[in-house]
Amino acid sequence: MEEKIVSLKEKGLTLKQIAEQLDMPIGKVQYAWRKWRAQHGDVTAATAAPTRKAEGKKQMKSSKKATKSKSTKQVSTTLQSDTSHQSPLLEQAPEGYWKLPDRYDADLMHAVVQSPNSVYVFWEVSDAVKETLAMQFMRPWEDLPKAFRILDVTLLDYTSGHANRSYTFELPEMTNSWFVRPLDPNTTYVFEFGIRTMEGEFLPLVATTPLDTPRAEPAGVGRFAEPVRRWQYGEVESPELLDTLPKYAAYRFVR
């Protein structure tokens, strides 16, 4: 069988053509051909083609490396040319990563609910406001006493200046955030940051929007239960809610 395969191979037939002519599996023909070459030491022909293939692969690898290095250089030059168009609010760290600035030089104050009894508040005061206050009170901003006020405005309009209760306490210098606790659940709060005047009065600089703490008990009980009951049974003509809140929010699903 090997002699037939060798004779047909010498005539220029491929292993697939030999397998079709001898009606044999291609794997069996390949095995017989490799066995015959190993026995007769015919390695020159076997190594010549792989050598050419290896040379071709080396050329392909070198061309790929050259292309990759070229594309890398192009990307790096593109990044270098685009650095001037980056946002001025961004600052490049030593490691090469972009990071957010420490402050935005704006007047802001936000509150985030953590639990029915805890709220996280953070704020910032712009340099323009600090300079104005320093000129007005003739004291550097760092020397002005900082204070924090908590307002309970449940069922009230905060813009009218009314509050059920309030609590003010002093803050350490260079403080820009605070965990406020313990608070009452199911209550509307407003938080303010400001300074103490020479007379000891609180001067608010920034404030949050009204914030409701979550319930700590099932709906239908608590401080809103009685107002809801009076409106539900027609004892009052209009809901006893904040004028700034949608009046359908708490009553649409009750009546």
User: Is residue 112 within 8 Å of residue 211, measured between CB atoms?
Assistant: no
Residue-level pLDDT, tens digit, the chain, 255 residues? 777 777 877 777 787 787 887 777 877 877 787 887 887 765 444 444 444 555 555 556 555 555 555 555 554 454 454 555 555 545 555 565 667 778 888 999 999 999 999 999 999 999 999 999 999 999 999 999 999 999 999 988 888 888 999 999 999 988 999 999 899 999 999 999 999 998 889 999 999 999 999 988 776 666 677 877 888 888 887 766 544 344 444 444 443
Comparing CA positions, the residue from 123, 120, 88, 122 lying closest to residue 107 is 123
pLDDT value of position 205: 94
pLDDT value of position 42: 53
**Amino acid identity, residue 236?**
V
Q: How far is CA 58 from the centre of its chain?
A: 44
Q: How far is CA 150 from CA 35, 119, 191, in A?
A: 92, 11, 5
CA distance 181 to 183: 5
CA distance 134 to 131: 5
CA distance 189 to 225: 19
Strands 211-212 and 202-207: unpaired
pLDDT value of position 243: 42
pLDDT value of position 244: 38
pLDDT value of position 168: 94
The token pair that represents 168 in the structure block: 């003010």
Q: Give the burial class of 204: count Cβ atoms within 10 A of its Cβ; 0-12 exposed, 13-18 middle, 19 or more buried.
A: middle
